[in-house]
Amino acid sequence: MPEQRSLEKTFQETVYSLLEKDTAPTFVLAVSAGVDSMVLLELFQRMAQKESRIEFVVAYVNHQLRQESQAEEELVSDYCRANNIKLYATKWHEGKTVAVGIEEAARNFRYDWFEQVMNHCQAKYVVTAHHCDDQVETILMKLIRGSRLSALTGMPKKRNFAKGYLIRPFLGLSKDDIYAFALQEGVKYLEDSSNQELVYQRNRVRLKLLPQIKKENPQFQDHLLGFSDDLSDTLEVLQPIIREKEKEFIQPFEDGWVIDWQGWQRDLSLAWQRLVLSYFFEQEFHAKGIFIKGKQVKSALSLMESDRPQAIIALTSQWQLRRTYQKLYIERVGSEASSYFSEQELLVTVPGEYILNENEKLSIIEVTDSLQIKEGLNSFQVNRSQLPLTIRHRKSGDLLQIGVNPPMHQSLKRWFINQKIPKDLRDKIWLVEDCQQNIVALLGYRTFQLSLKEETDRIFVNYRNHAKHD
Ligand SMILES: Nc1ncnc2c1ncn2[C@@H]1O[C@H](COP(=O)(O)OP(=O)(O)OP(=O)(O)O)[C@@H](O)[C@H]1O
């Protein structure tokens, strides 16, 4: 019992530490009927009984995806009725028709509802019951999927949300603490049956991966949270300095930005260059829903180090990096300055649609099992490990690998002569070169089967030329 009392006290202190200077804070509690949020509700109820200036309402979303949804809604509404708490419940009707990405769609609906309730009640805070086990799972999932370094700091205790804040006062508590409180204080809740379904990555991490790691070291969770705190501190100290360098070197330019490479290179070490560019992409692109990978930042830097004075790297199908001698432009595809694309090279690091000029287009698509591939002169596959691909015109000394076993080479010049390709056309044909500088295709003319190891991760390249009707 004394332990539970101290949990209650710690909880209240945590909530107060997360508030702005409010005289009468209003909260929206996100309650799902699971043990975490039912304990959150019970603790808030106790806190409000002691502190009359605290007001709160409950927001609940019935996703209608499980049989027990009805029972969950009843549990939450019974509690609220018995304690005279205002409940804002809604149903998600579209859920049954969503085929892919259902978790994300449900989350978006949930957070939209929280925002509506906040606005309606003029509440400044929405409160969720995320705890430290959720935090460990979130960080591990980010590590597995690959993410920005800053994402490994996990979920913050407080962040901006709608016109106020989202706060998570349970992040310092473990699931065991919460269960123990519920048991001792007789808090009613319903176990979510989908927590056992291994189709969800979060459940696999919780039920399979974490127990395996904990066998190696039972302290693993604490260690991971410790790393994450250290990272958080480091970034907090570092970010203002990075921001200063960003402002100094990355200048707004037309519909994008430009970096003058001479100054950049003279004043910044390679590590600084990587940090500043990664930070810039995170600030400017993450909010637009565009995630620029570390690999793309590295390609940008090596492009500026290379002997190609003019080249383009496609970041996404809408944004590109363009090198023009000592300047690096970060700009929208098709912006005025880059219309002379045929003079340059295109470096493709990610799948997407790429427009080479008014007639020629290239689609680079990730191969899925359901994709029917018809290979031909205009369509071929490469392995993901061959990325980035360079799309360019011929250079002197270009060699083609025309035989695999034994490997046989022929100069491109000789090949053009043998195929009787007129001279004026030779400069217009696009070559596709892989990261090992092997030419894998002459678009519309020939593809080359190189002896590459089998991989499941494949990329399909499709070329279209609207000027050619043969
Ligand atoms: N149906 C719901 N209605 C109201 N609040 C909910 C609902 N589902 C979840 N929540 C709130 O969100 C918290 C986290 O829930 P859960 O772990 O299921 O979410 P998640 O899938 O990890 O996604 P996210 O963290 O983005 O909400 C819960 O503790 C609760 O506060």
Nearest CA among 163, 181, 207, 203 for reference residue 37: 181
Q: State the pLDDT at residue 100.
A: 64
Q: What is the pLDDT along the chain (470 residues), one digit of tens a residue?
A: 456 668 999 999 999 999 998 778 999 999 999 999 999 999 999 999 998 889 999 999 999 887 889 999 999 999 999 999 999 999 998 877 776 677 888 999 999 999 999 999 999 999 999 999 999 999 999 888 777 788 899 999 999 999 999 999 999 999 999 999 999 999 999 988 777 777 778 889 999 999 999 999 999 999 999 999 999 999 999 999 999 999 999 999 988 999 999 999 999 999 999 999 999 998 898 777 777 877 788 888 888 887 778 778 878 778 888 888 899 999 987 654 444 444 567 778 777 777 777 788 888 887 766 566 677 788 888 888 888 888 888 988 999 988 777 778 899 999 999 999 998 899 889 999 988 889 999 999 988 876 555 556 778 898 988 876 54
Nearest CA to ligand 1 atom 8: 32
Q: Is 295 in the pocket of ligand 1 (CB under 6 A)?
A: no
Q: State the pLDDT at residue 338.
A: 46
Report the C-alpha gap between 462 and 453 in whole angstroms: 22
Cα–ligand 1 centroid distance for 54 (angstroms): 23
This prediction's pTM: 0.71
Peptide linkage before 406 cis (omega within 30 of 0): yes
Cα–ligand 1 centroid distance for 114 (angstroms): 11
Cα–ligand 1 centroid distance for 82 (angstroms): 23
- The token pair that represents 147 in the structure block: 């993410």
Nearest CA to ligand 1 atom 6: 32
Q: State the pLDDT at residue 157.
A: 95
Nearest CA to ligand 1 atom 28: 129
Q: Is 139 in the pocket of ligand 1 (CB under 6 A)?
A: no
Q: Is 151 in the pocket of ligand 1 (CB under 6 A)?
A: no
User: What residue type is assigned to position 71 of the chain?
Assistant: A
Q: Is 32 in the pocket of ligand 1 (CB under 6 A)?
A: yes
432 with 444: CB under 8 angstroms?
A: no
Q: Which of 56, 128, 171 has most ligand 1 atoms within 8 Å of its beta carbon, as the pocket-test mutant?
A: 128
Nearest CA to ligand 1 atom 29: 129
Q: State the pLDDT at residue 451.
A: 56
Q: Is 129 in the pocket of ligand 1 (CB under 6 A)?
A: yes
Q: State the pLDDT at residue 206.
A: 93
2 with 29: CB under 8 angstroms?
A: no
Q: Is 187 in the pocket of ligand 1 (CB under 6 A)?
A: no
Using alpha carbons only, give the angle 301, 302, 307 rounded to the nearest 5 degrees: 125
Cα–ligand 1 centroid distance for 292 (angstroms): 28
- Give 97: exposed, middle or buried? Use CB within 10 Å, 0-12, 13-18, 19+: exposed
Q: Is 128 in the pocket of ligand 1 (CB under 6 A)?
A: yes
190 with 72: CB under 8 angstroms?
A: yes
Cα–ligand 1 centroid distance for 32 (angstroms): 7
Kindly give the interhelix angle for 220-249 and 132-145, rounded to the nearest 10 degrees: 60
Nearest CA to ligand 1 atom 23: 107
Half-sphere exposure of 114 (CA within 13 A, CB side): 24
ipTM: 0.96
Report the C-alpha gap between 327 and 304 in whole angstroms: 9
Which atom of ligand 1 is nearest the CA belonging to 40? 31
Report the C-alpha gap between 64 and 69 in whole angstroms: 6
Q: Which residues pair with 458 in a beta bridge?
A: 383
Nearest CA among 76, 111, 105, 80 for reference residue 93: 105
Cα–ligand 1 centroid distance for 230 (angstroms): 27
Q: State the pLDDT at residue 455.
A: 57
Q: Is 76 in the pocket of ligand 1 (CB under 6 A)?
A: no
Report the C-alpha gap between 336 and 117 in whole angstroms: 45
Q: Say how many Å lie between the first and final Cα of the chain, rounded.
A: 84
As a three-state string, the secondary structure of the chain is CHHHHHHHHHHHHHHHHCCCCCCCCEEEEECCCCHHHHHHHHHHHHHHHHCCCCEEEEEEEECCCCCCHHHHHHHHHHHHHHHCCCEEEEECCHHHHCCCCHHHHHHHHHHHHHHHHHHHHCCCEEECCCCHHHHHHHHHHHHHHCCCHHHHHCCCCEEEECCEEEECCCCCCCHHHHHHHHHHHCCCCCCCHHHHCCCCHHHHHHHHHHHHHHHHCCCHHHHHHHHHHHHHHHHHHHHHHHHHHHHHHEEEECCEEEEEHHHHHHHCCHHHHHHHHHHHHHHHHHHHCCCCCHHHHHHHHHHHHCCCCEEEEECCCCEEEEEECCEEEEEECCCHHHCCHHHCCEEECCCEEEECCCCEEEEEEECCCCCCCCCECCEEEEEHHHCCEEEECCCCCCEEEEECCCCEEEEHHHHHHHCCCCHHHHCCCCEEECCCCCEEEECCCEECCCCCCCCCCEEEEEEEECCCCC
Cα–ligand 1 centroid distance for 326 (angstroms): 49
Q: Which residue has the tokens 């189709």?
A: 199
Q: Which of 41, 87, 130, 199 has most ligand 1 atoms within 8 Å of its beta carbon, as the pocket-test mutant?
A: 130
Cα–ligand 1 centroid distance for 187 (angstroms): 18
Which atom of ligand 1 is nearest the CA belonging to 63? 1
